[in-house]
Each structure stands twice: as C-alpha cells, then as structure tokens.
C-alpha cells in the first residue's frame, strides 16, 4: 500500500486510477492465458457463465469457437448426428 501511495505521488494520479489500470492490465493479460481461457470454457460448458460473459472476457472470435465446442457437447446435437 505504501508503494501504491508512492506511485500515486510519482505519477500525480489518484490511487483509484492506479488500481483500475492495474486491474485492466491484469484482465487483459489473463484472458490471453491459455489455462485461464480453459477455466472460462469449462464454466461456460457447465452453464456457470453466459455466452455474453464469455465474449466479454475472451473476445468475439474465441467465444464463437467455444460456442461451437459447447454445441458439440449437447446431447440433442449428438442424437442428431447419430442419425446421419
């Protein structure tokens, strides 16, 4: 916390600004982390998070990939495929 105070003085910024910037950078980095993307995917497959939440975390393109994979796990989809 002392370091945050010191950094706020150095940058002439608010404490909140520094924390928000740090959080934003953390989230940006985290969503490019494969292990975390897989955690997000698992939560999505288990219906713990919505597609919109996934999209806001990993971006539209990756979210679209995960949506197709979730569909691959759908019982109804597998039944349909089994009849082809």
Q: Check binding of 48 to other proteins (CB under 8 A).
A: no
Query: Can you tell me whether residue 33 is helix, strand or coil?
Result: coil
Instruction: For the beta carbon of residue 57, count every other beta carbon within 10 angstroms.
Output: 18
**Using CB under 8 A, which of 35, 47, 52, 76 touches other proteins?**
35
Q: Check binding of 42 to other proteins (CB under 8 A).
A: yes
For the chain, the distance separating the N- and C-terminal CA atoms, rounded to the nearest angstrom, is 62
From the centroid of its chain, how far is CA 37? Answer: 6
**Using CB under 8 A, which of 3, 10, 47, 68 touches other proteins?**
68
Least distance from other proteins to the Cβ atom of residue 53, Å: 16
């Amino acid at each position: 916390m002392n370091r945050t105070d010191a950094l706020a003085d150095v940058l002439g910024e608010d404490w909140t600004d520094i924390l928000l910037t740090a959080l934003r950078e953390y989230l940006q980095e985290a969503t490019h982390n494969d292990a975390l993307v897989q955690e997000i995917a698992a939560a999505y497959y288990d219906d713990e998070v919505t597609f919109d939440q996934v999209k806001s975390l990993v971006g539209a393109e990756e979210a679209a990939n995960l949506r197709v994979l979730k569909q691959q796990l759908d019982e109804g989809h597998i039944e349909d495929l089994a009849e082809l």
